[in-house]
Structure 1
Amino acid sequence: MYLPPQFASQDPRLAARLMREHPFASLITLDDDGQPFVTQLPLHLVEEDGGFTLLGHVARPNPQWRQLQARPRATVTFLGPHAYMSPRVYPDLARVPTWNYLAVHCSVSARLLAHEDEAGKDRLLKCLIGDHEPAYAEQWRGIDPELQHKLLAGIVAFELKVDDWQCKLKLNQHRKESHAAMHASYAGGTLDERALAAWMQTLGLAPPSA
């Protein structure tokens, strides 16, 4: 992605936080014609040995798993909170609007779980269940085995090893004169704007009294 140095973060803790708080990602592959193919899907982040792995699955009718099988390299993007920024946050008028946002882009290598690996699929699904509705795990375990077998057969699960990642935190870092008014505007705004205000505090961009 386009990544000016003032917006680039090399901190894996911030990248991991962003991926966990906004796990509904875009998985991007190339189809047989060389055109981008995109699936939006939730992914579970695993951190081990200083690296990242993403766990997920698609429906078996989705052709993307065949693309991953043929060409295992892919891109995954995560978009965090984002919001318009008015030039009114500046002390003078010779300014323009912009859009602030947080994003992580990952270059990944895919490994598909075998179709018959029901135990592996079950473990992967339980990771996703644990992220979003832990209480559902008991209901999943109680599903009739024949139905569970059919449901597991209907998905293709995969592990995406993150080979490289970029984290962009675009919060007008290079325009200090805007920070106080920008934080005040975001802190009283929409859900995304309030999330950006919290990230400004994390990054030390909010005024001391915030």
Structure 2
Amino acid sequence: MFIQPWDAALDDAEWKTWIADGHDFGILSVNGPPGQAPLTVPTHFTIDDRTLLIHLARPNPAWKAIEADPNVTFTVTGDYAFIPGPWRAKPGTPPTDGVPTSYYAAVQFTCRATVIDNPDAKAELLRRQMAHFQPDGDHAPIAPDQPPYGRMLPGIRGLRLDITEVRAKFKYDDHKPVEHRTETAHRLTERGRPLDAPTAGQQLRRLERTGPWKP
């Protein structure tokens, strides 16, 4: 993932807060067999300090690739919107001279994968995931010897992804003047497409922290 200086995360707390703010679904990418394309798997995940936890169905073809090469990438994206060219035209130039772009946030984790097959360890992984996704605890006990999860555990495998590198990108035209970014956020809010409001929110949040961008 290419990151311009003005698109980089301002600090680790920025991407960690963004992930914690409900961005818990991403794409696992693993190296395919020689001569074949990489395999990708969309899935929910939980994060614990420097570790991602996921589980997949046992028949998933990604397992064979992971066992051959445990170096994987996990990518999370969100708060994205298409920005039309006229919105980005420089002052005093025709609106049609503006060049469109995409706004988005993305966090890319480079990880080393460890497969989890022990029933007790898989149950613990699921308990940790459920603590995140169903914190009210409104589910049956998750244990190898209790239904309904006990009989389902053999059908899944767990995956611990130990993070070795994090690359975070918040692409919201931070190198543009303050007035331009403020107006774009206003236009996004007015347009009102499904992700326009959170995209505008990210742009204004970055604007409040950085003001005019300086190299």
**Normalised by the size of structure 2, how large is the TM-score?**
0.84
* Structure 1 residues 180 and 89: alpha-carbon distance in aligned structure 2, compared to 1, 3 A threshold: farther
Q: 2:139 maps to which residue?
A: 139
Q: Percent same amino acid at aligned positions?
A: 23
CA distance in 1, matches of 2:81, 2:208: 16
Q: Output the amino acid matched with 2:158.
A: A
| Equivalent residue number for residue 58 of structure 1 | 56
After superposing the two structures, state which structure 1 stretch, 98-107 or 179-188, moved more. 179-188
Q: Mean Cα displacement is larger for which, 180-189 or 101-110?
A: 180-189
Letter in 1 for 2:101: T
Q: Measure the CA separation in 2 of the matches of 1:55 and 1:105.
A: 15
Determine whether 1:156 maps to 2:154.
Answer: no
Post-superposition CA distance 1:123-159 (Å, at most 9, x none):
2112222222223x34221898254222111111011
Matches within 5 A, 1:117-196: 117-135=118-136, 137-141=137-141, 145-176=146-177, 177-188=179-190, 189-196=192-199
The structure carrying a bigger strand percent of its residues is: 1
- Kindly state the Cα deviation for residue 10 of structure 1 after the two structures are TM-superposed: 5.0
The answer to whether the 8 Å contact 1:10/1:167 transfers is no
Q: The residue matched to 1:128 in structure 2 has which SS?
A: helix
Q: Map 1:1-210 onto structure 2 (within 5 A).
A: 1-20=1-20, 21-33=22-34, 34-47=36-49, 52-90=50-88, 91=91, 92=93, 93=95, 94-113=97-116, 115=117, 117-135=118-136, 137-141=137-141, 145-176=146-177, 177-188=179-190, 189-204=192-207
For each residue in 1:164-192, what CA deviation from the matched residue of structure 2 results, as whole angstroms up to 9, or x when unmatched? 01111000111114212101012332341
Separation (CA, whole Å) in 2 of partners of 1:182 and 1:205:
14
Q: Distance in 1 between matches of 2:186 and 2:99?
A: 19
Tell me the matched-pair count.
200
With over 3 angstroms needed to count, the CA separation of the structure-2 counterparts of 1:25 and 1:53, relative to structure 1, is: same
Q: Tell me, which stretches of 5 or more residues in structure 1 are unaligned?
A: none
Q: What TM-score do you get using the length of structure 1 for normalisation?
A: 0.85
| CA distance in 1: counterparts of 2:38 and 2:167, whole angstroms | 20
Stretches of structure 2 lacking an aligned partner (at least 5 in a row):
none
Aligned partner letter, 2:2: Y
Matching residue's letter, 1:107: T
How many angstroms apart in 2 are the aligned matches of 1:10 and 1:119? 40
Distance (Å, rounded) in 2 between the aligned partners of 1:107 and 1:24: 16
